[in-house]
């Protein structure tokens, strides 16, 4: 069974700075989208992403391991994002208007609008941790990476995703 | 019915996508039409969610350039690593500092009981230039501005550590120039890079925070200068709302 498109790994680089920038190039957009899903403005997300990659640089310079590096990066971003959000007054409501199919075929416009509406409704109703798992999976992270990022076991991640996907499948079937 | 003949649960079907199921379950999946159809339904749901448009993002160029500059600065300044010392190392450094201070005290040198993570109020009460908020905020000063060499020497002399390894200390402004702090010996003190958790890097964060608050009109310039010069650690706790450094 095919998985979602996986995130690439950064290729070997000449210097540590180059390696960090290569990771930044691959992961900035997924990180920004994930931070936006926590309710943070994009500008705040950019600040956090800078902090994340500076932390990565320090981590690697101190001889830190490269195993599950994407999980490590998302975990740092997640923690910094929550810290920033809490400083700003706690949880905020996230609009999910962008959850619609890209470039819909005009003939299927009606069905797609309807399916997009249902998708948004399901996602809004999910517990926050389930939504986080779903978003990270959509960004191409493997289950073990998601587990590392959100401090969850492999079983908890897969259970959360199975629950969310079953709800989406049920809500969007025609 | 043996376990191998039971259909896979949704959780197992999800796990199968990353090859995380047992061999006998994978074998069942390979030969089970029902499980494959259900697996595709879940995959389609995942694909539907993943194919949705994300929020619009700005171009990566400026952020990339900024990161490059930050990395170059950090790479050129090993002191910044002090922010990341482990707890064990912090304890060790603290112990060594305490031992060192006892030794200094026994030698009857000027540095005695005060801990260098806080400046001596007598030697470093803080001094500010006669500037207002607009003047402070209209100029973007370089971060970690270095005090003139002659002032740095005087500060080390006054603190009785003129002969010590200069790489162990950052002669830091108590009130940063970015908040109107003056190039004045009364506004400088030798802050150890590896003293405790309350080190030079943490103070840099406070300075950035205070400047944002002052220039954003949330805190009065004089209040920020007073807070940071009276007790910068207390000011950090006040403005970050925490008892420990946030990083």
Complex-level ipTM: 0.77
Residue partners of B174: CB distance under 8 A and separation at least 6: B119, B124, B126, B181, B187, B188, B189, B228, B229, B232
Q: Which residue among B11, B54, B64 sits closest to A21, beta carbon to beta carbon?
A: B64
Q: Is A103 on the interface with B (CB under 8 A)?
A: no
pLDDT tens track for B206-219: 888 899 889 988 88
Phi, then psi, of B171 in degrees rounded to 5 = -75, 105
Contact list, B49 vs chain A (CB under 8 Å): 99, 119, 123, 134, 138, 168
Q: Do A168 and B45 touch (CB under 8 A)?
A: yes
Average pLDDT of the segment spanning B222-231: 88
Report residue A131 as tokens.
Answer: 């939504």
- Please give the pLDDT value at position B50: 84
Taking only the tens of pLDDT, chain A with its 174 residues reads: 334 455 556 666 678 899 999 999 999 999 999 999 888 999 999 999 999 999 999 898 888 888 888 999 999 999 999 988 887 655 555 555 545 444 445 555 555 567 778 888 898 899 999 999 999 999 889 999 999 999 999 999 999 999 999 999 998 875
- Please give the pLDDT value at position A119: 86
Average pLDDT of the segment spanning B58-66: 89
Tally the residues of chain A.
174
- Please give the pLDDT value at position B81: 47
The SS3 call for residue B139 is coil
- Please give the pLDDT value at position B195: 54
Q: Do B57 and A99 touch (CB under 8 A)?
A: no
Asked whether B171 and B53 are in contact (CB, 8 A), the reply is no
Report residue B131 as tokens.
Answer: 């500037």
Tell me the angle at which helices A143-150 and A154-172 cross, rounded to the nearest 10 degrees. 110
Distance separating alpha carbons of residues B79 and A36, to the nearest angstrom: 32
Residue with the bigger pLDDT between B194 and B174: it is: B174
Q: Of B7-16, B187-196, B201-210, where does the model show the most confidence? A: B7-16
């Amino acid at each position: 069974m095919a998985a979602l498109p996986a995130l690439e790994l950064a290729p070997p680089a000449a210097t540590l700075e180059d390696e960090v920038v290569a990771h930044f190039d691959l992961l900035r957009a997924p990180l920004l989208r994930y931070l936006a899903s926590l309710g943070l403005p994009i500008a705040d997300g950019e600040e956090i992403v800078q902090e994340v990659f500076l932390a990565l640089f320090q981590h690697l310079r101190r001889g830190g391991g490269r195993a599950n590096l994407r999980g490590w990066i998302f975990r740092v971003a997640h923690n910094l994002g929550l810290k920033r959000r809490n400083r700003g007054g706690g949880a905020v409501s996230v609009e999910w208007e962008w959850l619609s199919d890209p470039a819909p075929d005009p003939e299927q416009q009606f069905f797609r609008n309807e399916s997009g509406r249902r998708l948004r409704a399901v996602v809004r109703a999910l517990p926050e941790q389930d939504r986080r798992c779903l978003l990270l999976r959509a960004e191409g992270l493997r289950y073990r990476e998601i587990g590392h990022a959100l401090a969850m076991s492999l079983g908890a991640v897969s259970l959360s995703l199975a629950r969310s996907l079953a709800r989406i499948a049920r809500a969007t079937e025609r | 019915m043996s376990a191998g003949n039971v259909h896979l649960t949704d959780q197992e079907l999800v796990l199968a996508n990353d090859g995380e199921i047992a061999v006998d379950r994978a074998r069942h999946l390979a030969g089970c039409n029902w499980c494959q159809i259900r697996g595709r339904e879940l995959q389609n749901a995942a694909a539907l969610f993943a194919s949705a448009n994300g929020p619009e993002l700005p171009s990566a160029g400026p952020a990339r350039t900024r990161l490059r500059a930050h990395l170059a600065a950090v790479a050129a300044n090993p002191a910044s690593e002090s922010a990341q010392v482990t707890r064990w190392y912090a304890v060790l450094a603290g112990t060594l500092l305490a031992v060192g201070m006892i030794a200094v005290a026994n030698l009857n040198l000027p540095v005695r009981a005060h801990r260098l993570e806080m400046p001596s109020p007598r030697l470093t009460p803080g001094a500010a230039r006669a500037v207002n908020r607009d003047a402070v905020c209209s100029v973007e000063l370089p971060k970690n501005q270095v005090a003139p060499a002659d002032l740095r020497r005087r500060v080390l002399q006054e603190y009785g550590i003129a002969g010590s390894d200069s790489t162990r200390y950052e002669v830091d402004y108590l009130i940063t120039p970015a908040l109107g702090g003056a190039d004045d010996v009364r506004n400088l003190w030798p802050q150890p890079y590896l003293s405790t958790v309350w080190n030079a890097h943490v103070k840099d964060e406070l300075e950035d925070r205070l400047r944002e608050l002052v220039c954003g009109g949330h805190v009065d310039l004089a209040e920020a200068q007073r807070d940071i010069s009276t007790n910068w650690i207390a000011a950090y706790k006040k403005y970050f709302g925490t008892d420990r450094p946030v990083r």
